[in-house]
Amino acid sequence: MSIAHNNREAIVEQFNLSSPEDDKVISECQEVCRVYNITPINLFYKWEALQFNASSKAAVSPHFNMDAVGALKAQMQRELAATSSMKKQARGGPPQRFGPGAQRPRQTLTGMANKAVSGAASSGGLKGLSAVKQESGASAGGQAAVQFVDLTPKDASRESGSSWIGVWTKLRVDRYMFESLNERGNALDGMLDELALVIKEHYNLDDISDPSLSTEGTVTTVGRIAEDWESASTSDLKLLPATMVIEPSRGTGSGVRVPLRFADDVRVRGAPKGAGGIGVFPGAVVGLRGKNGGGDWFLVEEMLAMPPLKPPVKSSIPSAAPSMAIACGPYTAAADLDFKPWKNLLSRLIAERPKVVLLIGPFIDLNHGQMRDGNIDKSLDEMFEDIFLNPIVREFLATCSDSTVLLLPSVLDAISSYAVFPQAPFELGAHHPRIHLLANPSTFSLNGTTIAASSVDVLFHLGKQEHFFEIPEASDEAPPSGDEVKSDPTARRCRHLLQQRSFYPIYPVPPEVSNHVNLDLTHRRALKTDDSAGVAREIFITPSQLWQFCKMVDSTLFINPGQVMKGSYALGQLGQTLDFELKKLD
pLDDT tier for residue 176 given thresholds of 50, 70 and 90: low
pLDDT 10s digits, 293-349: 777 899 999 999 999 999 998 765 555 689 999 999 999 999 999 999 999 999 999
Query: Beta strand 435-437 with 404-408: parallel, antiparallel or unpaired?
Result: parallel
pLDDT 10s digits, 65-86: 888 888 888 888 888 877 776 6
- Tell me yes or no: is domain 110-153+319-445+552-584 CATH 3.60.21.60: yes
Note the pLDDT of residue 140: 32
Q: Where are the domains of the chain?
A: 3-90, 110-153+319-445+552-584, 176-306+463-499
Q: Which helix (H) or strand (E) holds 539?
A: strand 539-541
What are the C-alpha distances in Å from 149 to residues 437, 445, 449? 12, 5, 10
pLDDT at 135 over 60: no
pLDDT 10s digits, 556-565: 999 999 999 9
Note the pLDDT of residue 386: 94
Q: Which helix (H) or strand (E) holds 451?
A: strand 449-453
For the CA atoms of 115, 116, 118, 120, what is the dihedral angle to 10 degrees? 160
pTM tops 0.85, yes or no:
no
d(CA 368, CA 383): 14
67-76, 90-99, 449-458, 459-468: the lowest-pLDDT one: 90-99
Q: Which parts of 180-293 fold into alpha helices (H)?
A: 181-202, 250-253
Residue by residue, what is the 3-state secondary structure of 332-394?
CCCCCCCCHHHHHHHHHHHHHCCCEEEEECCCCECCCHHHHCCCCCCCHHHHHHHHHHHHHHH
Note the pLDDT of residue 184: 87
pLDDT tier for residue 584 given thresholds of 50, 70 and 90: very high
